[in-house]
Amino acid sequence: MFSLYGYGPSIFEGTILTLQVSIVSLLIAMLLGMLGALAKLSGTRSLALIAQLYTTIIRGIPDLVLMLLIFFGGQVLVNQIGPAFGYDEYIDINPFLAGILTIGFIFGAYMTETFRGAILAVSRGQIEAGTAYGMSSFMAFRRITLPQMVRHALPGFGNNWLVLVKTTALVSIIGLDDMVRKAGLAAGATRKPFTFYLVVAVNYLLITSISVYLLKHIERRYSVGVRET
């Protein structure tokens, strides 16, 4: 059943790569999202402005355009900078790097909004209580805000993750061997495109369904002690 005209293992490798791209991008997105949210709430005008500009621009441009810009543009940039540092050979930009950077960058913007809302949802009194105990603002953030914002961030976070996984299909366009591209190669060789793309579609459904299940589980865990309305 998993042989798929002999291309089963190849599709499986692609699936692993899709998962790798998803997870690494998610980590980048979470980092950027946290920085963005803190910048927006920092009260420093210039920082908030930069974060605002970041989220507005990202939400105005299609992910594919951004990915092509970073992939092709990055290529040119690296090869302009290279010779300046005495490196004369042509440098090929790694599609994996371009992929995770783009996807992480895009979803960092969405995470910014999610995290910002979650931080705001933690009651002000909690942080004041922390300050009253003599905690520094960083410690209050780490010990009080962070654990409590998780519950508020999870629904939005889960949504972003599901969209992110589907967005990773774009990396096949810049030549990364994810499952979509593997399916394309297999389809070309066997003349069975529908079969292979359907397998990939089912794989995506599996990934998203398992994610939804796990997220529900985590959500329940973090809502312990909160009365359901």
Q: In this chain, which of 16, 49, 139, 198 binds another protein, going by CB under 8 A?
A: 198
Stretch that binds another protein, among 40-48, 127-135, 201-209, 214-222 (CB under 8 A): 201-209
Q: 90-119 mask for another protein (x: CB under 8 A)?
A: ------------------------------
Question: Interface residues for another protein in 205-224 (CB under 8 A)?
Answer: 205, 208-209
Q: How far is the CB of 122 from another protein (least distance, A)?
A: 25
Q: 34-73 mask for another protein (x: CB under 8 A)?
A: -----------------------x-xxxxxxxx-xx--xx
Quick one: 19 or 38, whose CB is closer to another protein?
A: 19
Quick one: 104 or 130, whose CB is closer to another protein?
A: 104
* Rg value, the chain, Cα: 21
Quick one: 27 or 205, whose CB is closer to another protein?
A: 205
Burial class (CB in 10 A: 0-12, 13-18, 19+), 44: exposed
Q: How far is the CB of 142 from another protein (least distance, A)?
A: 33
- Asked if 180 is part of the footprint of another protein (rule: CB under 8 A), the reply reads yes
Q: How far is the CB of 101 from another protein (least distance, A)?
A: 15
What type of residue is 193? Answer: P
> Which token pair is 141?
């953030």
Query: Which residues of the chain form contacts with another protein (CB under 8 A)?
Result: 57, 59-66, 68-69, 72-73, 75-76, 166-170, 172-173, 180, 183-184, 187, 191-195, 197-198, 200-201, 204-205, 208-209
